[in-house]
Structure 1
Amino acid sequence: MAERPTTIWREGLAEEAEELAAGTLDPECACMAELFPEDLLTATDAVLDTFETELRCLAEADDAQIFGVVERVVLALNAVNEAHNGSTYETDERELLCDYIDRSLTEHGVDIVALTAPGPTWTRPVPDHG
């Protein structure tokens, strides 16, 4: 399963805390707690929880439904970013979030390349249940 960016950020927070406790990191160089406060991580996880719930319903979704799921997660993440001064998700964070969304969609059977290609609408084959 795709690794959530919040997991990566929490691991960075824990590593920084260990380095501070061991005295191997100058407190003036510590920035993870400021960059990734718990309320940001919790809000981001709530958005990703909803996204993951919606992914489970994509088995027979058409392109418009898939794009709707993607649009909702992106808009919700934008709202979290705005609620945290509009600069919380910088380039690296956005890349991690986009990669997570792409990997999650792929894991649920969505062909991202085909979905976003110009031309006729792509549809996934209907699973054979018999």
Structure 2
Amino acid sequence: MANRPPENWRAWTAQVARDVEAGILETGCAEAAEMYPESLLGATDSALEAFEAEVGALVGPSDEEVFGVVERVVLALNAVDGDDSHGGAGYCTEEREQLCAYIDLTLSEHGVDVAALAERRGMNRTEITDAWRDW
């Protein structure tokens, strides 16, 4: 199963902290951890966990069912990204790309042919989240 993006973000934050402590990075770089407050990571994990459960429950899904699951996770991630309780932290370009790749990979791991699904809707597989995505 694919790693959830918050796992990557936690690992990066921990590596930055180790590098600052070892003197490899300047002390000012430690502020990079503020990009990923636990409130953002936990809320993102929760949204992705719900997505995984929904995808795992699909059996021979229609395109509408798959897009419904995608819509719900994107809307949940929109809410996380727009939540002021994260101290201004949210999803930037790299995080967006990781989240979209994760959605694609998770669908694929559960037997959804994402390229064919997107093609039937006249889009590229990288566009399956675009109709609902604010981040």
TM superposition score normalised by structure 2: 0.82
| 2:97 equivalent in structure 1 | 95
More helix by share: 2
Distance 1:87 1:40, change over 3 A: closer
Measured in 1, the distance between the counterparts of 2:58 and 2:48 equals 15
Question: Deviation at 1:3?
Answer: 1.6
Gaps of 5+ in 1: 120-130
Q: Which runs of 4+ in 1 moved over 3 A?
A: 84-87
Equivalent positions of 1:1-130 (< 5 A) are: 1-83=1-83, 84=86, 88-118=90-120
Shift of 1:29: 2.3
**More displaced 10-residue stretch of structure 1: 54-63 or 65-74:** 54-63
Preserved contact between residue 55 and residue 107 of structure 2 (Cα < 8 Å): yes
* Structure 2 gap segments, 5+ residues each: 122-135
Q: Percent identity?
A: 52
Could you report, residue by residue, the CA deviation over 1:22-67 in whole angstroms, capped at 9, with x for unpaired residues?
Answer: 1221111234311001111000000011001101111222111110
Matches of 1:86 and 1:49, distance apart in 2? 23
Where 1:74 maps in the other structure, the secondary structure is helix
Whether contact under 8 Å (2:54, 2:69) holds in the other structure is: yes
Structure 1 residue 85: Cα displacement = 6.7
Q: Contact 1:59/1:109 (CA < 8 Å) preserved in 2?
A: no
The answer (yes or no) to whether the contact 1:40–1:80 under 8 Å persists in 2 is yes
Q: In structure 2, how many angstroms separate the alpha carbons of the residues matched to 1:65 and 1:16? A: 40
Structure 2 vs 1, CA of residues 118 and 103 (structure 1 numbering), >3 Å: closer, same or farther? same
Give per-residue Cα distances to partners, 1:75-119, cap 9 Å, x unaligned: 100110000477611111100000000000000000011111147
